Amino acid sequence: ANCSNVFINILNVYFTILNWIMFSCGPLSSYTVLPKQNGRVAIVTGGTRGMGFETAKHLASLGMHVIIAGNEKDEGKLAVGMIQQEDYKGKAEFMYLDLTSMKSVRQFAQTFRDRGLPLHILVNNAGTMLVPERQTEDGFEFHFTSGRPGRCSRIVNMSSATHYAGIIQMGDLNRRICYSSHGAYAQSKLALVLFTYYLQEQLTAGGFPVVVNAVDPGMVDTALYDNLWSLTMIPTPAEGASISIYAAAAVEMEGVGSCYLYNGEKRRSADDSYDHELQVELWKKSCELVGLKTA
């Protein structure tokens, strides 16, 4: 088991560094001009700091009403205050959401629905990386639970190059038999890409005008790497956020879904992510775990 963990660690680091070296992303302004988004509503999970904050700030600058969803109330208030100081056309507010708690997720969804607001953009930015083995209050592995999406006009799911090394352990999604933080993280990111593609298929079949895409920001200097090493000479959170902002607001992404995006371009994701049987199996298993019925 120790040798296996070492191998997984090396493989994950290799793919992350390779991704950064080969496809280092530049600032958003280098490849697109975004239209105004006045009156549109966006939810950004994990928007209190790092790439999530930069995404929320940029969407507000385009005129959006941005709801920052997170589980740190003080950080949320600070983030909202910093955005409001910029005097943007849009506005920002904070709503409490703990993505590791199904009770909190349902309460957040109900509170949002009760307000009668439309939802045009959902950016699933929140996540955690390489933490020791840990279960949520619902008994789920921590990485696997922290980034699952909902439904709106554009859904942007934050993935990672690490998904290329991911292996879906369908019989042990919560990694209780043999835990590796790297393996759990890679699995969660592969699961997110699988989920992205199958959700798009289901929405299209149902006639819903919603597009779903997975994005890869590359290696970015955020708190995610606190459990790995000290990083220098790598993109800032603002630069890393450019890909999620692009997917959320770019004209050329209107009506375009089921993509894996890096540096403003479509890339081929891991071969396993296109396995339709695996997509269906993961979808059904996920629904079972959270108590939802499947068609």
Task: Find, among 153, 146, 154, 158, the residue nearest to 104 by Cα.
Answer: 146
Greater model confidence, 227 or 203: 203
Q: Is 205 a residue whose pLDDT tops 50?
A: yes
Predicted pLDDT of residue 149 = 45
Q: Is 31 marked active-site?
A: no
Domain boundaries, the chain: 2-290
Is the pLDDT confidence value at 142 over 50?
no
Which residues have C-beta within 8 Å of that of residue 33, sequence separation ≥ 6?
Answer: none
**Of 63, 83, 52, the residue nearest 147 (C-alpha):** 52
Count CB atoms within 10 A of the CB of residue 50: 21
The set of residues, in sequence order, having a beta carbon less than 8 Å from that of 231 and lying 6+ positions away, is: 219, 221, 225
- In what helix (H) or strand (E) does residue 215 lie, and over which residues does it extend? strand 211-215
Sign of CA dihedral 122, 267, 34, 54: positive
Q: Tell whether pTM > 0.85.
A: no
Contacts of 266 (CB under 8 A, 6+ apart): 259, 260
- What is the C-alpha to C-alpha distance for residues 295 and 280, in angstroms, rounded to an integer? 11
Residue 169 CA to residue 285 CA, distance in Å, equals 11
Predicted confidence at residue 107, as pLDDT, reads 93
Check residue 181 and give its pLDDT: 80
**Active-site residue (options: 14, 31, 88, 185):** 185
Lowest-confidence region among 108-112, 136-140, 196-200, 235-239: 136-140
CATH code of domain 2-290: 3.40.50.720
Task: Tell which phi-psi region holds residue 39, choosing left (phi > 0), alpha (psi between -120 and 50) or beta.
Answer: left
